[in-house]
Amino acid sequence: LNCGYSKNNLPIGLQIIGKHFSEETILRAAFNFEQNCEVEKKKPEMNFPQQKSI
C-alpha cells in the first residue's frame, strides 16, 4: 500500500502480513487503511527524452 512520499518525492510502501489463510483479515486491514488515511494520490511523471528513430 502507498502510505506516503519521501522528501525526494519517492513513494513509501506499507506491507501487511498475517498468519496463513488469513487473507480476509489482511485485505480488511488494507481496505481500512486506504479508507481512513489521507494519502495523496500522485501520478508518475512520464518525461522521457525523445529517442532518435533507427
pLDDT at 47: 78
Model's pTM, two decimal places? 0.64
Position 47 in a domain:
no
Determine the structural domain holding residue 11 and report its residue range: 2-36
Position 53 in a domain:
no
Position 50 in a domain:
no
Position 54 in a domain:
no
Position 24 in a domain:
yes
Position 16 in a domain:
yes
Q: What are the CA-CA distances from residue 13 to residues 2, 3, 42, 47, 51 (Å)?
A: 5, 6, 14, 23, 32
Position 27 in a domain:
yes
Position 42 in a domain:
no
pLDDT surpassing 80 at residue 51: no
**Amino acid occupying residue 12:** I
pLDDT at 23: 96
pLDDT at 17: 95
